[in-house]
A = this chain, B = another copy of it.
Amino acid sequence: MADVARLAGVSSQTVSRVANGQPGVVESTREQVLTAMRELGYRPNSAARSLRYGRFNTIGVILFGLSSTGNSRTVEAIATHAAAEGYAITLIPVGMPTQDNVLGAFTRMGELAVDGVIVIIEVHLLDATAVALPPGVHVVVVDSDAGDRYPVVDTDQADGARQAVRHLLGLGHRTVWHLSGPAESFAAERRASAWRAVLEEAGRPVPPVEHGDWSADSGYHAGLRLAGVPECTAIFVANDQMALGVLRALHERGRRVPDEVSVVGFDDIADAGSYLPPLTTVHQDFAEVGRRCVRSLLHQIHDGPAGPGTDLVATRLIVRGSTAPAPA
């Protein structure tokens, strides 16, 4: 910057003014400075800027597993909206979701150049880390029940599950079986309890819950077990990938979908419409979740901390070819 000032024959302050588009610089001077900038390939040093302003214009995202569909789409939306507001995104991946690792991520975060953090991790891992969060750092949590401690943005898991189960009951199925996610997952738990609540409310029997780990493979194995249960004609699967595995298992066992068994998934991933048969599933608006995260976090950064609370994003059932009226 000093070099630019020297070359343009002005003070560094004037260069600063030009760089930031501030008024009070006469046109001819501005031209000279811009020319000098180009000539020297000047680019402002953001570290110095941050130091001066006390802000980094950066949001940190702590997450476990970027490859899972939901996470990557949420992060993409976060990145897009943050960029629109002039904020960059810094990714802090957590290798394995152990408390130690999460704690480590929070510690690293504390040392990073970040104005706020969006946490996309099952919240029970946050218990021990609440203390470790640096006081000046704002937080938004996704997909957890931390609503009493931090602002939370999340898909309305329960309502999505309710829509799925009611759809199946509406088709005349006597009851609905459920393949849930891992026991530690709050998303899985909420989907499962909404499923149970609808059945109980309707006075239907509640079959035993199967558990998978979200993978198609685990869905396949659970599907093999369910295929052996003759009275099982409707299955609500907690995500689309496991549903894919279920479809394969049913197919291998000769149980036709949707004629003999109806299947509903959750997520509406891009491929769900191309499964055999195309999957009826609950659509999650990951982009909207990301958008609201950014909005909430920026609001905190600019206007001070926000109280806890939960912001739910609506879901909707997408009916495709994997559900049909119950067999006679």
Interface residue ranges, A against B (CB under 8 Å): 41, 43-48, 50-51, 56, 58, 65-67, 69, 72-73, 75-76, 79-80, 83, 88-93, 95, 108, 110-113, 134-135, 215-217, 219-220, 241, 244-245, 247-248, 251, 270-271, 273-276, 278
- Given A67-B73, A83-B93, do A274 and B51 touch, yes or no (CB 8 Å)? no
Whether A79 pairs with B51 at a CB distance below 8 angstroms is: no
Question: Within the complex, which residue of B44, B93, B273 is in contact with A79, where a contact is CB–CB below 8 Å?
Answer: B93
**Chain B residues with CB under 8 A of A44:** 111
Would you call the interface of chain A mostly helix, strand, loop, or mixed? Answer: helix
A216 engages B273 (CB within 8 Å): yes
Q: Can you list 24 A-B pairs with a CB-CB distance of less than 8 A?
A: A44-B111, A45-B51, A46-B111, A46-B112, A46-B113, A47-B48, A47-B50, A47-B56, A47-B113, A50-B50, A58-B90, A66-B75, A67-B270, A75-B91, A88-B112, A89-B90, A90-B90, A90-B91, A217-B274, A219-B274, A241-B270, A244-B274, A244-B275, A248-B274
8 nearest A-B residue pairs (beta carbon):
A216-B274, A47-B50, A66-B76, A72-B72, A47-B51, A46-B113, A89-B91, A79-B93
Minimal Cβ-Cβ distance residue in B for A66: B76
